[in-house]
Structure formats: C-alpha cells, structure tokens
Structure 1
C-alpha cells in the first residue's frame, strides 16, 4: 500500500439538495484537513446504511463545470451525478466530489481540448495534441477522505476500472464495481466510445449507437 498521511474531518453541514427534475434529498457535506493535493474536495453523505457492517455505495465524481452545472451534452457527467446521488441515497453511502476538472487537466485545458475535438480528434487524442496526459487523476486524496470517514471497504459506482485499481492500491477494498447508466446524446457518443476503446470503461458498445451530431 502506498504511504499515505492521514486526513481529518474539518466540518460537517446538512444541505438539502434539489435537482432540476424535482428530485430532492438531504445530504451531509464533509470537508477535510490534510488532503495531499491541497484541493477543496467534498464528501457528500447520503442515505442510511442498511445495518451494522453494511458495505456503503461510493462514487468518485470528478468535477465537471460544463456538465454538472451548465448541463452540457458533450459528456455524461451531469446525468451520472444526478443518478449517483439517488442511487447512493437509496442504499446509503458517499459521493466524493473531487475537484479534478477535465480528468485532472483543468477547465481551460479541457475547453482547448474541446476545440480540437471539433476538428475531429477524440477526447484522448485532443489531450495528447496539447501535450497533456489522457487522464491525470490521482485518487490518493479520495482514499484519505474515505479513511477519515471510517470507510475502508465499499462498492464502487463507476464504469472506470482505474478508479477501483487505484483505491485497491491505496488500501481501500472494492468489493464490487457497480456500473452507472449509459447516458448517450448525439453530442457525446464519440466521447463515450473513446472511453470504452482507450481506457476500458465498462459501457456496452452496442448501446452507443451512431448518433453523430453532424
């Protein structure tokens, strides 16, 4: 297991959440001291555990301003966030909202990559053309957050095998990787196909029909 300093809880606050489709749920937001990357990541605690020893459902959700806030159809981040909140609330668990815009490259670089995608490159080719990694995310801070919350075993709500692999390497036991839904639009189908082909996301290629935006 990688050497990892301990983080501690900084503050906890109850926040009622409300989504555009009318779904509402109460959450507890937790902030932290001592995260290795110094970013302001937040844990969103949802629902109640099924009982003593129950394994929580956890999602590591990387911040996406364009998708989460503005409803961009170029990715599936907004729908995944909405789905994750309800599924975790129903079962009991935590959503870690990680400040890792653009798979860790930042907002401006992500928008530069979008411009290259408009010229025909896929999401990973665009990053490479900018001299940036395909995925620059490190989940050490996520593991710190989980340990600070007393979570060392979980089911992971994700299509991304790298998240499970990194958590396992950081001493967090992932019992099961639970797939998210497939949220396809005419604007994101090439993006989703690239995730399957380049980084082995568990999305059924048959569901990603050719919905090209023209």
Structure 2
C-alpha cells in the first residue's frame, strides 16, 4: 500500500533592522526589526514550496507588530530571509513529471482540507477569498471576487468586514492577498456581515468562500 505524507507549517524569519521608529502601542521610540511570516507546504518534507509571505515589523520595546513598509513585500531581503530549503525544495522533484502531477493533486487536496479546517475554526484576522456576487440578491456583476476578514468571533457567530473593491477574476484578489494588501485596514469599507458559524461551511461548499488565508 502506498501512502503520501504531506502537510504544512508556519514559520517566521528575521529580515533585519528597520531603524528607529515610533511605536503607537507603547508610545515610545525604539529600534524596530523587520520580520517575515510564511507558510511552507510539503510532500515527504522533500518537495517544499512557500504559499504565503507576510512581512511585518516588531517594536523592540514592547514587541508590538506593525505593518511592513510598502517596498518590503517583494524586496530581495524579505525573500532571502526565508530558508533556501523552504524556497527551493520543490526543485528537487522538478525532473519528474509524474511527481509534479502528484504534487499538484495532493496540494489541491491539502488546500481543500486546510480550508475546511480553518472555516470550521475561524480566528480573528482570517481572510476569506470570496465571490461576493453569491452573497447579494442583485450583484453588480455575475462574478465579484473580493475579500472578507474576520474581526470578531463569538461562540455562535463570526463578524466579517467586506473589502471595498472587487475583481471579475480571482487572480486580482489572490494578488492582493500575496502582496499583503488584504492585511491593511484601508482595504475594507464600512460594511460588516454577521454570519452564524454553521453558515460559514455552507458558504465554502457553495463557492461563496473559495480560499482561506491564515
């Protein structure tokens, strides 16, 4: 019998010093450090690829997290801070077409399983890639890909804030998620949606929610 070992893990790496800055949380000037959080998916811990990359900064005085500078998302320093083994592990299997096909199939299966788990256990800060057209009675367009972010979780209900823009192609919101734009407060308008926890799973099954970023 043949078994496939696959999974994922989150990791954090230090990028480097961010200079002297003012922290809004502790109201002190202190030396900040640039960091990057990312998720690595794997098969047999040999085939690896990074699926999410979120740079940020931390205050050296109180440890508060702050948004990264605009140029940090795709800077060579941010990318280079991620372990080379995590970034390039996929290349080990590049010579095997059959292995690549299996990797893609397993990755899709893992993504679906991970999404279902994260939908069932929502956390503040989760971002849902959403086809907003499926959530309104009279949508502006047949397809409206945007984002919803979890801002509050109770025992029975989840409060979501809705993005103030949408795309007719999922690649638009996926790009925004990769670049960290969906972590910015200005990405969302004033519309909030309160959804029973039980309804989130149905929204995912119906295709209203298509992906989860945690």
Normalised to the residue count of structure 2, the TM-score between the two structures is 0.26
User: Which structure has more strand as a fraction of its residues?
Assistant: 2
Structure whose alpha-carbon radius of gyration is higher: 2
